[in-house]
Amino acid sequence: MATLLQLALSGIAIGCVYALVALGFVLIYKATETVNFAQGELMMLGGFFAYTATALMGWPYWAAIVFAVLVMALFGMGIERIVLRPVLGQAQFTVVMVTIGVGYVMRGVVSMVPGWGTDTYKIANPFADRVINIGGAAISLEQLMIIVMTAALCAVLFLFFRFTRIGVAMQASSQNQLAAYYMGIPVRRINTLIWGLSAAVATFAGILLAPLTFVHANMGFIGLKAFPAAVVGGFGSIPGAIVGGLVIGLVESFAGYYLPEGFKDIAAYIVVLLVLIFKPSGLFGDKLTKKV
């Protein structure tokens, strides 16, 4: 029983990180129909900014989070404005290739920045090295904090989309750009803001992930696991992304314990293939058919 609980909790913890990265995909996908392959790299860069703030500038943990999130929100907006807006309206995969290129550049540049480089770093946090006992399962406070902070972020995002003017505008432009445009919503500006929001969420994911995997230039590859998460949840659904992330995290955690070695890394991909074969719309996806 304790083992089960332990596996479930660590699965949920890593699942939360997948969920946050997947959330970033889904936000951008819903708004601009672009799948951002650089989402993992945004997470990585956010982690590096947080590391810089805590270790090199000596800021406290919470200030570092705010700093990294703000910087990355600006960065995300800049990427949208400079690189993605010119290819808006091109074939979907052209835009995907652009984001892949952005990912390459970010990975390359980060490994060339003095003080960052190709080493692995730790973000000092106030929860390190503390273990809590829940029903016989030992769970580190860091993992628990991932779950708590993800829940908190989801609540904030829910309130943001439900009650703020920008949030409602973002929802509107995600549902139907043309209608939103006619209603006087500046769709392009909203797209820029959504990239900023997505980068901010990714940064948050990076900071939360840092205690588990540390911060390094290839950290973004973990973001690839968020694709299965997003697909399992149905690509255009925000609650779906969260649930999908948790599902993938749990599957991975249990596969690592019960299945032979090697299955842990590909469990997520086997799940996504099965979902795509049997239920391509995912758990929360819309079932719509195309009209000519």
Partner 1 sequence: MRFLFKTDYDQDVRLFKDGQQKFWYGALAIFLLGLPLALPEYLVGQMVFILIYSIIGLGMMLLIGFTGQISLGHAAFLAVGAYTEAWLQARGAPFAVSLAAAGLLAGLAGVIVGLPALRLKGIYLAIATMAFGFIVEEAVTRWDSVTGGNSGKQLKQIDFFGALIDNDVRFYYLCLGLVFIIMLGMINLMRSSTGRAFVAIRDSEISAQSMGIHLARYKTIAFAISAALTGMAGALYAHKLQFISPEQFNLLVSIEMATLVFIGGLGSFHGAIFGAIFVITLPQLIVFMKDYLPPAIAQQTGLQPTIFGLILIGFLLFEPLGIYGRWVKIRTYFSLFPFYRRGMFRRQKTYMKSDRLK
- Whether residue 195 contacts residue 98, with contact meaning beta carbons closer than 8 Å, is answered with no
Contact pick of 55, 172, 224, 283 for partner 1 (by CB under 8 A) = 224
227 binds partner 1 (CB under 8 A): yes
In terms of CB distance, is 15 or 211 closer to partner 1? 15
Give buried/exposed letters for 233-268 (b at 16+ CB in 10 A, else e): bbbbbbebbbbbbbbbbbbbbbbbeeeeeeebeebb
**Per-residue binder mask for partner 1 (CB under 8 A), 150-179, x = binder:** ---------------------------x--
Give buried/exposed letters for 155-177 (b at 16+ CB in 10 A, else e): eebeeebeeeeebebbbbbbeeb
Residues of span 124-153 touching partner 1 by CB under 8 A: none
Query: What count of residues does the chain have?
Result: 292
Q: CA-based Rg of the chain, rounded to a whole angstrom? A: 19
**Per-residue binder mask for partner 1 (CB under 8 A), 75-114, x = binder:** --------x--xxxxxxxxx-xxx-xxxxxxxxxxxxx--
- What Cα–Cα distance (Å) separates residue 181 from each residue in 5, 162, 175, 191, 249? 49, 20, 11, 12, 38
**Per-residue binder mask for partner 1 (CB under 8 A), 44-73, x = binder:** ------------------------------
CB of 276 to partner 1, least distance (A): 5
Give buried/exposed letters for 68-90 (b at 16+ CB in 10 A, else e): bbebbbebbbebbbebbeeeeee
Cβ neighbours of residue 188 under 8 Å, at least 6 residues apart? 85
CB of 196 to partner 1, least distance (A): 20
244 binds partner 1 (CB under 8 A): no
Contact pick of 64, 185, 217, 219 for partner 1 (by CB under 8 A) = 217
Contact segment (CB under 8 A) with partner 1 among 47-55, 58-66, 239-247, 269-277 equals 269-277
120 binds partner 1 (CB under 8 A): no
- Whether residue 268 contacts residue 225, with contact meaning beta carbons closer than 8 Å, is answered with yes
CB of 69 to partner 1, least distance (A): 25
Contacting positions for partner 1 (CB under 8 A): 29, 33, 35, 83, 86-94, 96-98, 100-112, 118, 177, 217, 221, 224, 227-228, 231, 235-236, 261-262, 265-266, 269-270, 272-273, 276-277, 280, 286, 288-292
